[in-house]
Amino acid sequence: MKVGLCGIGFMGMIHFLAYQKIAGVEVKAICEQIPERLKGDWRKIKGNFGPQGEIVDLTGIATYAKLDDMLADPNLDMIDVCLPPSGHAAATIAALKSGRHVFCEKPISLTTQAADEMMAAAKSSGKLLMIGHVLPFFADYHFIWNAIQSGEYGQLLGGHFRRVISDPVWLSNFYSMETCGGPMLDLHIHDAHFIRLLFGMPKAVQSVGRLRGDVPEYFDSHFIFDDPNLVVTATSGAIQQQGRPFTHGFEIHFEKATVLFESFMGKPITVLDEKGNVLTPEIPQLDDIGAFVNELTEVVEAVQKGTPSPILDGRLARDALVVCYAEIESLRQKKKITL
């Protein structure tokens, strides 16, 4: 399986490294507008976790400055879109129309209209469209997913989710709703997607928090479902103190257990069971790109089988976008918003 990688920023680099660890798939082309990156000089690439950029050997990989030129390459089976969110829709639709499967980084797009156009293009092309919501492939979140599938802890009752960063001052367009989407669409949408995956679609949201102009900066959200026993909340956003590393975590409630995880203090996942025990189950530990290896392995297998991934499905990604926009409106209007 041969992949063309569109966009060599931080996520493009992470995907490139992850593909090296997956059997049966090769990155055969890259598309990027920054000339030095087409030559393999990725030293200026920076992210809020994991490896930083370095010199990369691109021997045997075709390089293109324009997407249309890469799409004209007959040797590619799938296009991996790692552009800024504002470029997702156009690149994805062009790739689908060229007859390629597409894996696109989250968020699916910056508007629900663009998301609908992407999904329509996938349907008319007969190709798969998958969106890179990687969270369920991280070990601690995958533990929750497995617990729900097995029913080990009984009925799911709700939970609280956290995802907070120091202000990413190296990203000039982070707070642009036309380019990146700010903390809501770049950061919190991970938890919005996971909440949608675990609990279904909420019927309403209520959010409070700080705005930077009209863009959410830091906020708490309450997700309301038809089932009154589901209590689901989330905290996300950016703080000004640069000493804060990227932090995420959760406290998820089941009938027979509560499961805790907090990345900031480096604590292992903890299970409080119905007998009063405090357990620390052993789960596989992943390196900085391990979750992305697992995610892209699922992508490759989905393409090989011709069946969409139930986790990376475009409809779930669109639902997550709808939830986030409802939260934005709740913040701006200072009231509950019905979906």
d(CA 37, CA 207): 40
Confidence (pLDDT) at 48 = 66
Residue 23, burial from CB neighbour count under 10 angstroms (0-12, 13-18, 19+): exposed
Whether residue 275 has pLDDT greater than 80: yes
Rounded mean pLDDT, 109-121? 97
Cα separation, 98 vs 191, in Å, equals 32
Q: Is the pLDDT of residue 27 over 90?
A: yes
Same CATH topology for 2-132+293-311 and 135-287+320-338: the answer is no
| pLDDT score, position 265 | 65
- Other CB atoms within 10 Å distance of the CB of residue 265: 7
Question: Would you state the pLDDT for residue 233?
Answer: 98
**What are 45-98's pLDDT values in tens digits?**
987 677 889 999 999 999 999 999 999 999 999 999 999 999 999 999 999 999
Residue 151: phi, psi to the nearest 5?
75, 15
Torsion of CA 139, 272, 266, 261, to 10 degrees: 50
Give CA 227 to chain center in angstroms. 27
Q: Check residue 244 and give its pLDDT.
A: 80
Helix (H, G, I), strand (E, B) or coil at 255: coil
Q: Do 15 and 296 touch, CB atoms closer than 8 A?
A: yes
Ramachandran area for residue 126 (φ above 0: left; ψ -120 to 50: alpha; else beta): left
Q: Please tell me the distance from the alpha carbon of residue 234 to that of residue 265, in angstroms, as a whole number.
A: 19
pLDDT at 263: 86
What pLDDT score was predicted for residue 51? Answer: 85
Start-to-end C-alpha separation, the chain: 40
Q: What share of the chain is helix, strand, coil (3-state, %, to 5)?
A: 35, 25, 40
Whether pLDDT at 35 is above 80: yes
Residue 201 has pLDDT above 70, yes or no: yes
Does the pLDDT of residue 326 top 80, yes or no?
yes
Q: Give CA separation, 278 vs 35, 259, 260, 268, 310, in Å.
A: 54, 10, 10, 12, 32
**Regarding beta strands 270-273 and 278-279, do their DSSP bridges make them parallel or antiparallel, or are they unpaired?**
antiparallel
Percent over 90 (pLDDT), the chain: 86
Cis peptide bond upstream of 281, omega within 30: no
CA-nearest of 145, 147, 87 to 309 is 145
| CA distances (Å), origin 249, targets 235, 258, 262, 294, 338 | 10, 13, 4, 20, 27
Lowest mean pLDDT among 26-40, 284-298, 310-324: 284-298
Three-class DSSP category at 81: strand
Q: Does residue 154 carry a pLDDT above 70?
A: yes
Place of tokens 């011709």: 306
Q: Please report where in the chains the tokens 């990688």 appear, as a residue.
A: 5
Q: CB of 284 within 8 A of CB of 13? A: no
Q: Which fold has domain 135-287+320-338?
A: Dihydrodipicolinate Reductase; domain 2 (3.30.360)
Mean pLDDT across the chain, nearest whole number? 94
Between CA 18 and CA 82 the distance in angstroms is 13
Q: What is the pLDDT, as a whole number, of residue 102?
A: 98
Q: Residue 215, CB half-sphere, CA atoms under 13 Å: how many?
A: 18
Which is more confident, 169 or 316?
Answer: 316
Domain coordinates in residue numbering, the chain: 2-132+293-311, 135-287+320-338
Region 142-156 average pLDDT: 95
pLDDT of residue 285: 81
Task: Provide the whole-model pTM.
Answer: 0.93
Degrees to nearest 5, angle at CA 160 with 154 and 164? 145
Q: In the prediction, which pLDDT does 169 show? A: 81
Q: What number is the average pLDDT over the span 266-290?
A: 89
State mean pLDDT over 280-295.
90
pLDDT per residue as tens digits for the range 213-268: 999 999 999 999 999 999 999 999 999 888 887 889 999 999 999 999 998 766 77
Please give the CATH architecture assigned to the domain spanning 2-132+293-311.
3-Layer(aba) Sandwich (3.40)
From the list 214, 210, 236, the residue with the least C-alpha distance to 223 is 236
